[in-house]
């Protein structure tokens, strides 16, 4: 792997562990002006892009001519190539918003590496990972306090895109995923297992659709690991994990709404709201235990254990369309 000269030693060590073929390396800058001119941005998008993004680089391009993986296309999807981007952040509070706008602007299926280095932090500007993930609905560890030894934080962002049936020159963003933040200098066991699972040689090479879906499955497994404490990746469990995450996040949102109501409620109403909040908190803990138990049963099956079917839940996110013609090279 050639020296990319990114000035991010911990992140570059992570990239070296991916075993990306040299033929895939692009390592060219993308300027914020390109997104400002071509993406559909509102005022908050423009502010986040201006204030929170330091640099954007197109690290890798995966296509049949650079790696031995076939393209994939059908009536809904066109996975002819994949783009891997590095986005260096000065603040992580708008990470989800930035992930959404970048995926709207770039028509290729894209893997975004968000990196936040504490050495570049402006004092008082960086939220904890809990605060940053609160906006994105992602459960993750808190940022470690700023220190002299820069700790680079990493988050992965992916979005499954399909062709707009009404206008085949546009894309529709369906499934959007943003991983919890990982401290590259202080990883938990489950986080290390997640990073190890991203090695290119361990991902399916049948076609780019399968390759990309495998990365999305690993991000989802990491999200479950931050609830259950164990990184568990097995075929056939993607829908099951998605159901657990949806239930967990739904309860989290209910608790967040109740806490906001408590702050504004009169004293007589606060007792009732606090009781409801406590019930939801207990429900949240029960879901976390259920997640842990399911993983334990898969790993250490008991005799006589019955398998239960799980109903597939349709994604409820409002589709966003993007023009397919942008950034064609």
Q: What is the reported pLDDT for 96?
A: 94
Query: Is there a single domain that holds both residue 48 and residue 157?
Result: yes
Asked whether residue 189 carries a pLDDT value surpassing 50, the answer given is: yes
Asked if 42 and 118 sit in the same domain, the reply is: yes
Question: What percentage of residues in the chain have a pLDDT greater than 70?
Answer: 65
Q: Give the domain range for residue 247.
A: 238-299
- Range 264-273 average pLDDT: 71
Question: Is 184 contained in some domain?
Answer: yes
Checking if the pLDDT of 317 tops 50, the result is no
Q: Are 227 and 159 found together in one domain?
A: yes
Do 280 and 229 fall within a single domain?
Answer: no
pLDDT interval class at 191 (50, 70, 90): very high
Are the C-beta atoms of 44 and 97 separated by less than 8 Å?
yes
Does residue 227 sit in the same domain as residue 294? no
Tell me whether residue 158 is in a domain: yes
Residue 61: HSE in the Cβ half-sphere, 13 Å Cα cutoff: 15
Mean pLDDT over all residues of the chain? 76
232 pLDDT more than 60: yes
In angstroms, the Cα distances linking 135 to 83, 129, 213, 279 are 26, 10, 25, 23
Mean pLDDT of 26-55: 90
38 part of a folded domain: yes
Judge if 112 and 161 occupy the same domain. yes
Angle at 61 between CA 55 and CA 64, to 5 degrees: 175
- 59 pLDDT exceeds 90? yes
Same domain, 163 and 273: no
153 three-class SS: strand
33 and 57 assigned to the same domain:
yes
- Give the model's pLDDT for residue 221: 87
Which of 164-168, 228-232, 291-295 shows the lowest per-residue confidence on average (mean pLDDT)? 291-295
Long-range contacts of 244-250 (CB under 8 A, 24+ apart): 244/287, 244/290, 244/291, 244/294, 245/220, 246/313, 247/287, 248/139, 248/284, 248/287, 248/288, 248/291, 249/137, 249/139
Q: Average pLDDT of 166-174? A: 77
Percent of the chain having pLDDT more than 90? 41
Q: Is the pLDDT of residue 174 over 90?
A: no
Same domain, 170 and 277: no
Region 164-184 average pLDDT: 84
Q: Indicate the pLDDT class of residue 311, thresholds 50, 70 and 90.
A: very low
Predicted confidence at residue 76, as pLDDT, reads 85
pLDDT per residue as tens digits for the range 115-165: 998 754 433 344 444 444 444 444 444 444 344 457 899 999 999 988 887
Q: 275 or 62: which carries more pLDDT confidence?
A: 62
Residue 1 lies in a domain: no
User: Are residues 58 and 130 both part of a single domain?
Assistant: yes
The strand ranges marked E within the chain are 25-29, 53-62, 72-73, 78-79, 82-89, 110-117, 152-163, 170-178, 182-183, 320-323
For 5, the token pair is 């000269």
Residue 226: CA count within 13 A, CB half-sphere: 24
Tell me if 267 is assigned to some domain: yes
* Range from 146-160, 175-189, 233-247, 292-306 that averages highest in pLDDT: 175-189
- pLDDT reported for residue 299: 47
Task: Domain count for the chain, please give it.
Answer: 2
> How far is 127 from 39, CA to CA, in rounded Å?
27
The pLDDT assigned to 281 comes to 65
Residues 204 and 249 both lie in one domain: no
Residue 149 lies in a domain: yes
Q: Has residue 201 been placed in a domain?
A: yes
> pLDDT-based confidence at 235, cuts 50/70/90?
low
Higher-scoring residue by pLDDT: 106, 325: 106
Instruction: Please say if the pLDDT value at position 297 is more than 50.
Output: no
> Could you give the C-alpha distances from 101 to 57, 59, 94, 154, 159, in angstroms and in order?
16, 18, 11, 19, 11
Same structural domain for residues 219 and 284?
Answer: no
CA distances from residue 233 to 101, 109, 193, 214, 279 in whole angstroms, order as listed: 29, 22, 10, 10, 31
Give the distance from CA 277 to its chain's centroid: 28
**Does residue 166 lie within any of the structural domains?**
yes
User: Is pLDDT of 74 > 70?
Assistant: yes
pLDDT value for 60: 97
């Amino acid at each position: 792997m050639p020296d990319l000269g990114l000035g991010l030693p911990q992140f570059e060590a992570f990239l070296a562990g991916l075993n990306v073929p040299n033929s895939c390396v692009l390592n060219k800058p993308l300027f914020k002006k390109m997104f400002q001119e071509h993406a559909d941005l509102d005022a908050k998008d423009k502010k986040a892009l201006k204030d929170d993004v330091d640099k954007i680089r197109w690290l890798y391009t995966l296509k049949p001519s650079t790696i031995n993986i076939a393209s994939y296309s059908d009536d809904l999807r066109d996975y002819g190539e994949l783009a891997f981007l590095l986005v260096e952040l000065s603040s992580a509070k708008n990470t989800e918003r930035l992930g959404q706008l970048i995926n709207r602007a770039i028509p290729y299926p894209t893997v975004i590496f968000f990196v936040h280095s504490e050495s570049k932090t402006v004092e008082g500007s960086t939220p904890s990972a809990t605060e940053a993930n609160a906006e994105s609905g992602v459960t993750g560890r808190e940022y470690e306090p700023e220190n002299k030894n820069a700790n680079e934080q990493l988050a992965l962002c992916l979005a499954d895109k399909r062709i707009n049936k009404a206008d085949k020159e546009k894309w529709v963003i369906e499934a959007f995923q943003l991983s919890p933040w990982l401290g590259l200098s202080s990883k938990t066991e489950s986080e290390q297992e997640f990073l190890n699972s991203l090695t290119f040689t361990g991902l399916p090479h049948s076609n780019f659709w399968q390759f990309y879906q495998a990365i999305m499955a690993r991000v989802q497994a990491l999200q479950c690991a931050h609830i259950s404490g164990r990184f568990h990746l097995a075929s056939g469990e993607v829908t099951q994990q998605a159901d657990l995450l949806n239930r967990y996040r739904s309860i989290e949102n209910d608790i967040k709404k109740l806490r906001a109501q408590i702050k504004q409620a009169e004293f007589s109403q606060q007792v009732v709201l606090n009781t409801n909040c406590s019930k939801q908190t207990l429900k949240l803990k029960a879901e976390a235990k259920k997640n842990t138990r399911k993983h334990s049963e898969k790993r250490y099956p008991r005799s006589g254990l019955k398998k239960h079917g799980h109903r597939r839940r349709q994604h409820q996110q409002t589709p966003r369309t993007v023009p397919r013609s942008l950034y064609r090279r």
